[in-house]
């Protein structure tokens, strides 16, 4: 992702000590949360976070197939990453790939019965883990504050990187 023009200009500055502490705390939280969710999926359903993302996207698209290109857009993955990952998931019986009707070069993907079963197990377990790790520790005031902060940060990202 290219750097936005307005970040590289004369207004650029160093982080303050407080901002650096907060950034490091956020970065540690993000890394620990990712690791905990990944570990939870491995324990619960023997799948990776990437597997879960694919299964979830295909479930949302059900009952119809999803074109490989469209799956890549949903996941924000490069075509080669999608293709390689689907090949591994297909070998484990989690997804099914088929030639696209009307487009000999295209491929569609559907959730295989085994993938639907894995997702049915992993989904509720993942939700329970998120509740346990995040939401049980927060009250309504904390949730309101976080929602405002995350919304503001997302708006800033969208201003700087509108193509996402």
Neighbours of 76 (CB within 10 A): 9
Q: Given the structure tokens 């949730």, which residue do they identify?
A: 143
Pairing outcome for strands 66-67 and 103-111 = antiparallel
Query: Could you say which residues of the chain have pLDDT below 50?
Result: 5, 9
Q: Is residue 7 part of a domain?
A: no
pLDDT by residue (tens digit) across 11-56? 789 999 999 999 999 999 999 999 999 999 999 999 999 999 999 9
Identify whether residues 150 and 125 lie together within a single domain.
Answer: no
Domain holding 98: CATH number?
1.10.10.10
- On whether residue 144 sits in a domain, the answer given is yes
Whether omega for the bond prior to residue 63 falls within 30 degrees of 0, making it cis, is yes
In which domain, by residue range, is 150 found?
139-164
Residues 99, 117 within the same domain: yes
In three-state form (DSSP H/G/I as H, E/B as E, the rest C), the secondary structure along 15-63 is: CCHHHHHHHHHHHHHHHHHHHHHHHHHHHHHCCCHHHHHHHHHHHHHCC
Q: Give the Cβ contact number of residue 58 at 10 Å.
A: 25
Question: Would 99 be classed as within a structural domain?
Answer: yes
Tokens of 138: 């927060």
Residues 53 and 85 in one domain: yes
- In this structure, the answer to whether residues 123 and 151 fall within a common structural domain is no
Give the pLDDT confidence score for residue 105 in this predicted structure. Answer: 77
- Is residue 93 located within the same domain as residue 50? yes
Residue 53 has a pLDDT of 96
Kindly state whether residues 164 and 87 are assigned to the same domain.
no
111 and 163 within one domain: no
96, β-bridge pairs: 110
My answer on whether 115 and 159 are in the same domain is no
**Distance between CA atoms of residues 143 and 131, nearest Å:** 12
Residue 94 lies in a domain: yes
């Amino acid at each position: 992702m290219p750097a936005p023009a307005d970040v590289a200009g004369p207004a650029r500055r160093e982080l303050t000590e407080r901002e650096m502490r907060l950034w490091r705390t956020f970065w540690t939280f993000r890394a620990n949360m990712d690791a905990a969710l990944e570990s939870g999926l491995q324990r619960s359903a023997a799948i990776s976070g990437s597997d879960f993302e694919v299964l979830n996207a295909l479930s949302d698209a059900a009952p119809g197939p999803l074109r490989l290109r469209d799956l890549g857009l949903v996941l924000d993955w490069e075509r080669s990453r999608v293709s390689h990952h689907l090949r591994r998931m297909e070998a484990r019986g989690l997804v099914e790939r088929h030639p696209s009707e009307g487009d000999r070069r295209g491929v569609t993907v559907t959730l295989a019965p085994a993938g639907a079963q894995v997702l049915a197990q992993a989904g509720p377990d993942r939700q329970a883990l998120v509740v346990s790790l995040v939401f049980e520790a927060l009250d309504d005031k904390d949730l309101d504050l976080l929602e405002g902060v995350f919304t503001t940060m997302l708006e800033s990202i969208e201003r700087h990187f509108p193509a996402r």
